Structure 1
Amino acid sequence: MFTTRPEIRGTFGVVSSTHWLASGAGMAVLERGGNAFDAAVAAGFVLQVVEPHLNGPLGEVPILAWNAKRGAAQAICGQGTAPAAATIEAFRNDGYDIIPGSGLVAATVPGSFDAWMSLLLEHGTWRLRDVMDFAIGYAETGHPLVPRISAAIGTVRELFETHWPTSAAVYLPHGDVPAPGRLFRNPALAQFYRRLIEEAEAVGSNREAQIERARRVWSQGFVADAIDRFSRKSELMDGAGKRRAGFITGEDMARWRARVEKPVALDHHGWTVLKCGPWSQGPVMLQALAMLDGDDLKSLDPNGPEFIHLVIEALKLAMADREAWYADPDFVDVPLAALLSREYAAERRRLIGDGASHELRPGRPAGRTPVLPARPDLASAPVAALGGSAGEPTMARLTGDRAELQTAADGTTRGDTCHVDVIDRWGNMVAATPSGGWFQSSPVVPELGVCLGVRGQMFWLDPTVPGALAPGKRPRTTLTPSMALKDGQPTLAFGTPGGDQQDQWQTLFFLRHAHHGLNLQEAIDAPSCHSDHVTSSFWPRHAQPGSLTLERRFPAATIEALAQKGHRVEVGDDWSEGRLSACAIERDGDQRLLKAGANPRGMQGYAMGR
C-alpha cells in the first residue's frame, strides 16, 4: 500500500495534529516530562494561533480523554450554548429565516478555553503558564503563514476593509494581505493571554488554584467584559446582509462551564468505539458501524465499489437519523439507546440496496415518528454581498503546492476545524477537535485580538424540530473526535476536520484499519470520499441528494461502477478528501509500541514521536 510518509513508531510518546507546530509543541511537553493531557492542551492553544482560519480561542472543542491510572474515558463538552436572548422570536422579528453563518448573531458562548482547563485541572500536571507559553510565543514573535491562511484572508479582504475594521487591523497588517510563508504576529492575542495568566497567578503558587482563577477571569472577568461590550454595542454586517449586534452578554459567559460526561460506546468486531453524545454528530459513526456489523467487510476491496457503496449508504441512513433525532439531550428526549440497538441497526441495514438512495430516510426508533426541519426557500433568502463564513468545507482544492480555498456560490468563504491526538508513555490518550472562532466567522473583539464562533448557525428557527434554537441549549455540533478500545484495551485516538464529512472520513479510516489491516498512515493516505446527501449543518443549509465526491486516485472502474449504481458522482482532486490524524498503541505481551500518522493533504499535518 502506497503511503506519503512512514507510520511513526516509538515507545516514549506520539503526537499527531493538523499543524506541525502544534505537534511539535505537544511533543516538547512530553519530552519535558508532561503527560498526554498537558501536551494536548499546549498543542490546542498553538492551533488557535497557527490555524486562525480553522479555530480560535473563542470557539469550541469536544475532547475524549483516557486516563490510564483510572482505566476510564471521559468526554469533555466544550460546546457553548445559545445566549439567553437568542430566541426564535428574536430572530424572526429581525427578519431571519435561517441563522446566518457570519456576524455576531450566530455566536454561542465560547467553550474551548474552559474545556481545555477542565482537562488540564483534572488530568494534567503542568501549570497554566507552561502549557500556554508555546502559543504566546507564536502570537508574539510570529509563525509562518501556510498558503491557505493567506488565501482565506484574501477572500474576505473587502469584507474586513468595508465592514469589519477590527478584523482588518489584525489580518491586514500595513493594509495588505500577508504573504504565504512570512511570519505573522497577533500581539493583541499575546497580550490577552499574558494578562490572563498574570491574573490567574495572583492567587498564589498553587497549580489548581491558578487554573480555577483563570476560568473565573475568563467567564466573569476582563474576557467576559470585552465580549459583552463588543457583542452588545457593535452593529456589524452578517451573512444575511444585516447590520446587527450580538446576543452574548457577561451573564451568559458567567453561567456556562464545560461538562464532563461518559462517552457513548458501541462494540464492533472486537473493538469498542467511543464518541461524544448526541449534542455532537458522533453517534452517526456508531450507527453506521452497527448497520455494517454483520457484513464481511474484510472480503471487500477497500477501494472497490461494493465497499464504498455499502459504507456511504449506511452513513446516509445514520445522518438522516442525525437530522431527525440528534440534539442537546438536556432539552430533547433523544432515543439514543434505540438508535444504537442491534435490532434497529438490522432494520436500517435492510434499506441498503444495490442502488444509491436519493431520499432522506430517517427511521422510527422505538416506534417514534421522525420530525425533520422544513428548509426555507433559499433562492429568495437574503444573501450578503460580501464574505463571511459558510461553515466547514469538505476540503480545500489542492493543485500542486498551491491551496485554493473552497468558496460558496455567493462568494462566502468557509471556515474549518483542527484536530490533535496524543498518547504518552504511561498510556494516557487524548483526541480533541477544536473549531469555531475562525477569522472568517465574525469581527475581531479588539481587546482580545480574536473573534467569536458562530456555531449557532446550526440551530433551526422551527420550534417543532429537535435542533430548534433555545436559550441555554447546545447546537448539535459536527465536531466529533474518536477513540477505540481493542479487546477492552485503549488502542486508538483519531479524528479529522471537515464539518458534516468528519464521521464519513473517520468511518472509512477506521474500517480500513480494523478490517483490512492498513496501518495508520496507509489508512489516512488511502483515497477517500464523502456525500453531501443530507442537508448541511451550516448556513445556507444546502443539500445534494445522492451526491458522492471521490478523489481521482480511486480506480477508474470503481468510479464508473458507483456511477452505474446511481450515485451522482463528482471526481475531486487526487488529495482533496479529509485531514485525518491518528495515534495508537500496539501491544505484544508486556511490550507496548506507540504509533502515529498524519494527513498529507494540505501540507500542514504532521505526526511526531520517539
Structure 2
Amino acid sequence: MFTTRPEIVGTFGVASSTHWLASQTAMSVLERGGNAFDAAVAGGFVLQVVEPHLNGPGGEVPILLWSERERAVRAICGQGPAPALADPAAMRAMGLDLVPGIGLLPATVPGAFGAWLTMLRDYGTWTLADVLAPAIGYARDGFPLVPRISQAILAVRELFQNEWHSSAAVWLPDGRVPRPGSLHTVPGVARTYTRIVETAEAASGTREQQIDAALDGWYRGFVAKEIDSFCRTQAVRDTTGERHKGLLRHEDMAHWTPTVEAPATLDFGRYTVAKCGIWSQGPAFLQQLGMLRHADLAAHAPTSPEFVHRIAEAAKLAMADRLAWYGDPDFGDVPLAGLLDPGYLAARARQIGGCASLDILPGTVDGRAPRLPDLGAAQRTLRHADVRFGVGEPTFAAMPPVAQWAEREIFVGDTCHIDVIDRDGNMVAATPSGGWLSSSPVIPELGFALNTRLQMTWLEPGLPNTLAPGKRPCTTLSPSLALRDGEPYMVFGTPGGDQQDQWSVAFFLRHAVHGMNLQEAIDAPAWHVDHFPGSFWPRSVVLNRLSVESRLPEDTIAALRARGHEVKVGEPWSEGRMSACTRERDAQGRLVLRAGANARGMQGYAVGR
C-alpha cells in the first residue's frame, strides 16, 4: 500500500506526536541519555508552546505508561476537578442551562503540570530544568506558527481586541494576526517556567525534592495565587454574552494532587488494550472492541461498507453508554465492570443490525436502567448564546491564501498527542489539551490561559457527569496502550474530542485485524460518527451522521447510504491525527521499535533510530 511516509524502524528509540518540534525534542532527550518518561515530559511541555491553539500550561493531560522497572501499566490522571464554588444551582440561577464554553466559569484545577511532573519524579531521570529548557527556549526565542494558529487567532480577533485585552497583547502583535510561518514568542510562559525552575532549585539540591518544590510553587505558591487573584477580580465575557468572574481559588489548587492508578483493560484476540478510567471516555474504546469481537471483521476489507458500518454502529452504542453512565467514580457508583462485562457487550453487539440506528440507545447495566440528560438544554442554550467567538472547542477561521486573508467559515479543532518508547522498552502515551489560546483570557502575570473542561459537565441533577464541587468532569482525552501476547506492544492516540475513541478504534483494528503497518493504518481512509450531544458547548445533538473521507471507495459510500447512514463526504485527508509507536522482540531477542505519524494537517511527525 502507498503511504505518505515510511514507517520508522529503529532500536534506540522512537517518538511520534502531533508536531514535529515535540517529536524531535523527545528524540533529542533520548539521544542525550534520557528515558521515555523524560522525553515525553519535555515533548509535552514543548507542545504547550508550539500548539497553543490546542493546549497550554493551564490545561490537563491523561497519561498511560509502561514501566519496565515495575513491569506494569499505569494511568496518571491529570484531569483537575471542579472548584469548590462550582455550584450547579448557582449557575442555573444565572439562567444557564449549560456551563459556558469559554471564559472563566468553566475552569477546573489545571492538572497538566502536576501530571507531567509526577511522571518525571517517579519514573524519569532528568532534572526539572533540563526537561523544561526546550519549552522555555521556544517560548522565549520564538517558534514557527503553523497556519492553524493564525486561523485560531483570526477567529477570535474581535473578542481579543474588544474584550480580552491581555490575550490581544500576546497574540495580536501590533494589533495584527501574525502570519503563518513567522516566529512568535510567548515571553510570559518563558518567565513563569523559568521562575518555577529557579524557585525549585533554590529550595533543594536533589532532583525529586526540586520537582516537589516546583509542584508546591505551582499549586500552592505564586501560580495558584495569581490564578486566584485573576478569577476573583476579572469579569470576563463568555459564550453567554455576559461577563462572569471565575470560581477557581488557591484552595482548590492546594488540595489537589494527580492520581496514579491501574488502567481499565479489555482483551481482544492477542491484544490487551489499556485505557484511562471511566473519568475519561477511554472505556468507550474498550466497549467497542468488546462488541466488535463478534463482528467477524477479518472477513471484511478495511474500506468495505461492512467494516465501516459495524464499527460505526458499535461507536453509537458505546457513546450512548458514555452519555448515560460515565462520570467520576469518586462521586457515585459508576458501573465500569458491568459496562465491560463480556456478556453485556455480546448482547450489545446483537443490537447491531444491517441498517443504521437512528436512536440513542444506552444499555441496562447490572439491572439498572440508564438515564439520559435533558438533550433540549443545548437547543435552549443556542437560542440565547453568543456564538460570535466560536464554541467550546478550539475554533478556527478558514483562510484563503495569506495575501487575501478574510473571515470565512468558522470550524472547530481538536487537541494534541505524543508517544515515546525508549531502548529499554519504557512506553508513554499522553493526550494533552485545555488552556488553548481561545479558551479564556491570558493571565498577564503568568502568560497563559485557563482551561474550560467544566463545559463537559451537566447542570441537571442526578447524572453521573453532573457538575459538583471537587468532581472531575468526564474528559474526552484518551491515550491508548496495548499489550500483545502479554507483552507491552503499542502506545497510540489522536486529538479529536468525541472522535478520539473512534479514529483510534478504526486505526487499531486496521493494524491488529488486517495487519497494516503503523503508517498504512494511519494513512488509510478514515471516518467518524456523530450520534450524541457533543461534549463541548453548546452540546448540539446530531444523530446518524457519518463523516467520511472522500478517499473511501464510491461504492462503499453508496452502500453506507443504502444502509440508512446520513453520509457526509469530507476532504480526502480530513479525518484523524493519529500517532503510534510499537516495540517487539525479533528472533534474536533484540528490541525493535517502530513509529508512524499522521500526514493530515502537515505537522505531525515520527522520528527514531
- The CA distance in 2 between the partners of 1:400 and 1:578, in whole Å, is 24
- The Cα of 1:296 is off from its aligned counterpart by 2.1
Conserved in 1, the CA contact under 8 Å of 2:398 and 2:408? no
- Letter of the 1:343 counterpart: G
User: What residue ranges of structure 1 are gaps of 5+ in the alignment?
Assistant: none
- The CA distance in 1 between the partners of 2:253 and 2:225, in whole Å, is 9
Q: How does 1:66-85 map to 2 (within 5 A)?
A: 66-85=66-85
- The CA distance in 2 between the partners of 1:459 and 1:180, in whole Å, is 35
With over 3 angstroms needed to count, the CA separation of the structure-2 counterparts of 1:69 and 1:380, relative to structure 1, is closer
Conserved in 2, the CA contact under 8 Å of 1:339 and 1:345? yes
Q: How does 1:10-25 map to 2 (within 5 A)?
A: 10-25=10-25
Give secondary structure in 1 for the equivalent of 2:92: helix
Task: Select 2:559's aligned residue among 561, 565, 578.
Answer: 561
Q: Which residue of 1 aligns with 2:459?
A: 461
- The CA distance in 2 between the partners of 1:401 and 1:606, in whole Å, is 24
- The CA distance in 2 between the partners of 1:357 and 1:400, in whole Å, is 41
Q: Which residue of 1 aligns with 2:438?
A: 440
Conserved in 2, the CA contact under 8 Å of 1:406 and 1:414? no
Conserved in 2, the CA contact under 8 Å of 1:392 and 1:499? no
What do residues 1-49 of structure 1 show as CA deviations (whole Å, max 9, x unaligned)? 1210000000000000000000010000000000000000000000000
Q: Which residue of 2 aligns with 1:170?
A: 170
2:135 counterpart of 1:135: yes
Q: Which residue of 1 aligns with 2:604?
A: 605
Give secondary structure in 2 for the equivalent of 1:451: coil
- The CA distance in 1 between the partners of 2:401 and 2:341, in whole Å, is 46
Of 493-502 and 459-468, deviating more is: 459-468
- The CA distance in 2 between the partners of 1:397 and 1:4, in whole Å, is 25
- The CA distance in 1 between the partners of 2:472 and 2:229, in whole Å, is 23
Conserved in 2, the CA contact under 8 Å of 1:551 and 1:572? yes
- The Cα of 1:174 is off from its aligned counterpart by 1.2
- The CA distance in 1 between the partners of 2:456 and 2:49, in whole Å, is 25
- The CA distance in 2 between the partners of 1:406 and 1:119, in whole Å, is 42
- The CA distance in 2 between the partners of 1:592 and 1:463, in whole Å, is 52
Q: How does 1:178-189 map to 2 (within 5 A)?
A: 178-189=178-189
Q: Which residue of 2 aligns with 1:544?
A: 542
User: What residue ranges of structure 2 are gaps of 5+ in the alignment?
Assistant: none
2:569 counterpart of 1:596: no
- The Cα of 1:587 is off from its aligned counterpart by 2.0
Q: How does 1:194-213 map to 2 (within 5 A)?
A: 194-213=194-213
- Letter of the 2:99 counterpart: I
Identity %: 58
- Letter of the 2:143 counterpart: H
- The Cα of 1:473 is off from its aligned counterpart by 0.2
Q: Which residue of 1 aligns with 2:289?
A: 289
- The CA distance in 1 between the partners of 2:247 and 2:398, in whole Å, is 35
With over 3 angstroms needed to count, the CA separation of the structure-2 counterparts of 1:236 and 1:534, relative to structure 1, is same
Conserved in 1, the CA contact under 8 Å of 2:378 and 2:541? no
Task: Select 1:384's aligned residue among 371, 382, 386.
Answer: 386
Conserved in 2, the CA contact under 8 Å of 1:415 and 1:438? no
- The CA distance in 2 between the partners of 1:329 and 1:405, in whole Å, is 47
- The CA distance in 2 between the partners of 1:123 and 1:582, in whole Å, is 21
- The Cα of 1:405 is off from its aligned counterpart by 13
- The CA distance in 1 between the partners of 2:240 and 2:52, in whole Å, is 23
- The Cα of 1:152 is off from its aligned counterpart by 0.7
Q: How does 1:314-463 map to 2 (within 5 A)?
A: 314-381=314-381, 382-384=384-386, 386-391=388-393, 414-463=412-461
With over 3 angstroms needed to count, the CA separation of the structure-2 counterparts of 1:239 and 1:306, relative to structure 1, is same
- Letter of the 1:542 counterpart: S
- The Cα of 1:294 is off from its aligned counterpart by 2.5
The alignment yields a C-alpha RMSD, in angstroms, of 1.8
Q: Which residue of 1 aligns with 2:123?
A: 123
- The Cα of 1:389 is off from its aligned counterpart by 4.2
After TM superposition, the score normalised by the length of structure 1 is 0.97
Give secondary structure in 2 for the equivalent of 1:322: helix
Q: Which residue of 2 aligns with 1:510?
A: 508
Conserved in 2, the CA contact under 8 Å of 1:398 and 1:573? no
Give secondary structure in 1 for the equivalent of 2:532: coil
Q: How does 1:30-179 map to 2 (within 5 A)?
A: 30-179=30-179
Give secondary structure in 1 for the equivalent of 2:454: helix
- The Cα of 1:246 is off from its aligned counterpart by 0.5
- The Cα of 1:586 is off from its aligned counterpart by 2.8
Q: Which residue of 1 aligns with 2:260?
A: 260
Conserved in 2, the CA contact under 8 Å of 1:389 and 1:441? no
- The Cα of 1:380 is off from its aligned counterpart by 4.2
- The CA distance in 2 between the partners of 1:277 and 1:585, in whole Å, is 24
Conserved in 2, the CA contact under 8 Å of 1:189 and 1:450? yes
Conserved in 2, the CA contact under 8 Å of 1:392 and 1:538? no
- The CA distance in 2 between the partners of 1:144 and 1:77, in whole Å, is 31
